[in-house]
Chain A
Amino acid sequence: MADSETNLVTINIDGVEHSVPGGMNLVDACESVGVEVPHYCYHPKLSVAGNCRMCLVEMGMPMRDRATGEPVLDDDGVQKIGWMPKPAIACASKTMPGLHIKTKSDLTKECREGVMEFLLVNHPLDCPICDQAGECRLQEFATDYGRGFSRFVEEKNVKPKRTVLGPRVTLDDERCILCSRCVRFCEEIDENPVLGFTERGSYNTLTCFPGTQLDSNYSLNTVDICPVGALTSTDFRFKMRVWFLKPTPSICTESSVGVNTEVWSREGVIYRVTPRRNDSVNDTWMADTGRALYHQVEAKSRMKSFRVDGNKASLGEAIQRVRELMTVGPIAYVGSGQMSVEDQWMLRKLVETEPGPIHFVYHQGEGDGRLISKDKTPNLRGGLLTGLIKDLPDAHLHALRDQLEKGEIKTIVAFGEDLVKAGIAPELLKKANVIYFGDQRNDTTDFVKVLLPTLTVFERSGSFINQQFRLQKFAQCVPGPAGLMPTTALISRLIGEIKGESSLPPSNPQLWRDMAVAIEQFAGIEFAKIPATGLELDSSAFAQLHFVEEKGWHYEPVAEPAGAESSHH
Chain B
Amino acid sequence: MAITERRMIYKHVDEEGYSNDIDCYIKNGGYEVLKKAVQAKPEDLRQEVLDSGIRGRGGAGFPTGMKWKFLDFKSGKPIYLVCNADESEPGTYKDRQIIYQDPHQLVEGMMISAFAIGAKCAFIYIRGEFINGARILEKAIEDARAKNLLGEDILGSGYSCDLIVHRGGGAYICGEETGLIESLEGKRGYPRIKPPYFPAALGLYMCPTIVNNVETLCWVKHIIEIGGKEFANIGVKGDSGTHIIGVSGLVQKPGYFEIEAGAHTLGEVLYDGCGGPLPGRKFKAVIPGGLSMKILKWGERWKGKHPNTGEDYDWGVEDIPLDSVSMGLTGSALSTGGAMIMDDSTDMLEAMANINAFYAHESCGQCTPCREGSLWMHKLSKRMTDGQAREEDVPLLLDIADQIAGRTICAHGEAAAWPVQSAVPKFKDEYLDKIKKQANGERYNPVGYPLI
B372 at the interface (CB under 8 A from A): yes
A72 at interface, CB cutoff 8 A: no
Q: In chain A, residues 229-252, which have Cβ atoms closer than 8 Å to a Cβ of chain B? A: none
| A92 and B193 form a contact (CB under 8 A) | yes
Q: Which of B362, B371, B373, B396 is the one whose CB lies under 8 Å from A178?
A: B371
Question: In the complex, which of the residues B196, B374, B407 has the most CB atoms of chain A within 10 Å of its own CB atom?
Answer: B407
- Contact check, A202 vs B375: say whether CB atoms are below 8 A apart: yes
* Nearest CB in chain A: distance from B182 CB, A: 12
A121 to B404, CA, bound (A): 14
Residue-by-residue, is A139-163 near B (CB-CB < 8 Å gives 1, otherwise 0)?
A: 0000000000001101101000000
Return chain B residues, CB-CB under 8 Å to A200: 171, 361-365
Chain A residues with Cβ under 8 A from B374's Cβ? 201-202
Chain A positions within 8 Å of B196 at CB level: 92
- A178–B409 CA distance with the chains assembled, in angstroms: 14
Is A89 located at the chain interface by the 8 A CB criterion?
A: yes
For residue B208, CB closer than 8 A to chain A, the reply is: no
**Which residue of the partner chain A has the closest CB to B171?**
A200
Instruction: Tell me, yes or no, whether B261 is within 8 Å of chain A by CB.
Output: no
B363 touches A51 (CB 8 A): no
Count A-B pairs with CB separation below 8 Å.
97
Residue of A nearest to B173 (CB): A200
A390 CA to B406 CA, complexed, in Å? 66
Which parts of B356-384 form the interface with A (CB within 8 Å)?
360-369, 371-376, 379-380, 383
Q: A50-B193, A114-B407, A154-B376 are in contact. Are A202 and B371 (CB under 8 A)?
A: yes
Considering the complex, which residues of chain B in the window 191-213 have a beta carbon less than 8 Å from any beta carbon of chain A? Answer: 193, 195-196
User: Quick one: which of B171, B372, B380 contacts A118, CB cutoff 8 A?
Assistant: B372
Q: Point out the residue from B362, B365, B408 that lies within 8 Å of A53, measured CB to CB.
A: B408
Q: Which residues of A contact B367 (CB under 8 A)?
A: 50-53
On whether the beta carbons of A152 and B406 are closer than 8 Å, the reply is: no
A53 & B360 in contact (Cβ 8 Å cutoff): no
The distance in angstroms between the C-alpha atoms of A54 and B407, with both chains bound, is 10
A56 in the interface, Cβ–Cβ < 8 Å?
Answer: yes
Contacts of A54 in B (CB 8 A): 368
Contact of A201 among B193, B365, B383, B406 (CB under 8 A): B365
A contact patch SS: loop
- State A110–B399 Cα separation when bound (angstroms): 11
Cα(A118)–Cα(B363), bound, Å: 14
Task: Find chain B residues with CB under 8 A from A56 CB.
Answer: 407
CB within 8 A of A154: which of B171, B379, B406? B379
Partner among A115, A151, A199 whose Cβ is within 8 Å of the Cβ of B368: A115
Distance in Å from the Cβ of A220 to the closest Cβ of chain B? 25
Q: Judge whether B368 and A152 touch: CB under 8 Å.
A: no
Chain A positions within 8 Å of B171 at CB level: 200
A118 adjacent to B369 (CB under 8 Å): yes
CA distance A52 to B365 in the complex (A): 10
A158–chain B nearest beta-carbon distance, Å: 13
A48 surroundings in chain B (CB, below 8 A): 193
**In the complex, are the beta carbons of A203 and B365 less than 8 A apart?**
yes
Report the nearest A residue to B366, measured CB to CB: A51
In the complex, the chain A residue whose C-beta lies closest to that of B390 is: A153
Output the least CB separation between B236 and chain A (Å). Answer: 24
The distance from the CB of B314 to the nearest CB of chain A, in whole angstroms, is 27
Interface size on B, residues (CB 8 A): 30
Task: Flag if A204 contacts B376 (CB, 8 Å).
Answer: no
Q: Is A111 an interface residue (CB 8 A)?
A: yes
Query: Is B301 close to A, CB under 8 A?
Result: no
Question: Do B372 and A122 touch (CB < 8 A)?
Answer: yes
B407 proximity list for chain A (CB < 8 A): 53, 56, 86-87, 111, 114-115
Chain B residues with CB below 8 A from A119, complex form: 368, 372
- In the bound complex, do residue A121 and residue B372 qualify as a contact, i.e. CB atoms below 8 Å apart? yes
Given contacts A89-B193, A115-B369, A178-B371, contact A201 B408 (CB under 8 A): no
Residues of B within 8 A of A151 (CB): 396
B294 to chain A, nearest CB (A): 17
Is the pair A118, B193 in contact by a Cβ cutoff of 8 Å?
no
In the bound complex, how far is the Cα of B196 from the Cα of A203, in angstroms? 28
Tell me, in angstroms, the Cα distance from A565 to B377 when the chains sit together. 70
Asked if A177 lies at the interface with its beta carbon under 8 angstroms from chain B, I say yes
CA distance A87 to B360 in the complex (A): 23
Q: How far is the CA of A196 from the CA of B409 in the complex (A)?
A: 19
Asked whether B188 is an interface residue with its Cβ less than 8 Å from the other chain, the reply is yes
B183 → chain A, closest Cβ, in Å? 13
B379 touches A201 (CB 8 A): no
Flag whether B403 is at the interface (Cβ < 8 A): yes
* Contact A204-B365, Cβ < 8 Å, known A48-B193, A87-B407: yes
Closest beta carbon of chain B to A62's beta carbon, Å = 19
CA distance A180 to B371 in the complex (A): 14
B409 and A154 within 8 A (CB): no
A93 to B408, CA, bound (A): 15
Given contacts A56-B407, A87-B407, contact A154 B380 (CB under 8 A): yes
* Shortest Cβ gap from B362 to chain A (Å): 7
Residue-wise interface mask of B (14-48) relative to A, using a CB-CB cutoff of 8 A (1 in contact, 0 not)? 00000000000000000000000000000000000
Residues of B within 8 A of A157 (CB): 375
Check A118–B409 contact: CB distance below 8 A.
Answer: no
Are A177 and B368 in contact, CB atoms less than 8 angstroms apart? Answer: yes
A144 to B387, CA, bound (A): 37
Known: A86-B406, A154-B383, A201-B360. A118 touches B376 (CB 8 A): yes
A417 CA to B445 CA, complexed, in Å: 84
- Least CB distance from A428 to B in Å reads 62
Q: How far is the CA of A196 from the CA of B375 in the complex (A)?
A: 21
Chain A nearest Cβ from B342, distance in angstroms = 26
B376 touches A121 (CB 8 A): yes
Using Cβ atoms and an 8 Å threshold, which residues of chain B touch A154?
A: 376, 379-380, 383
Give me the 3 closest cross-chain CB pairs, A-B, nearest first: A114-B403, A204-B365, A118-B372
Task: List 15 extra interface pairs beyond A115-B403, A154-B379, CB under 8 A.
Answer: A48-B193, A50-B193, A50-B367, A87-B406, A93-B195, A115-B368, A118-B372, A154-B380, A197-B188, A200-B171, A201-B360, A201-B363, A201-B364, A202-B372, A203-B365
Chain B interface (Cβ within 8 Å of chain A)?
171, 188, 193, 195-196, 360-369, 371-376, 379-380, 383, 396, 403, 406-409
6 contacts between A and B (CB under 8 A): A115-B403, A118-B371, A118-B403, A199-B365, A201-B362, A202-B371
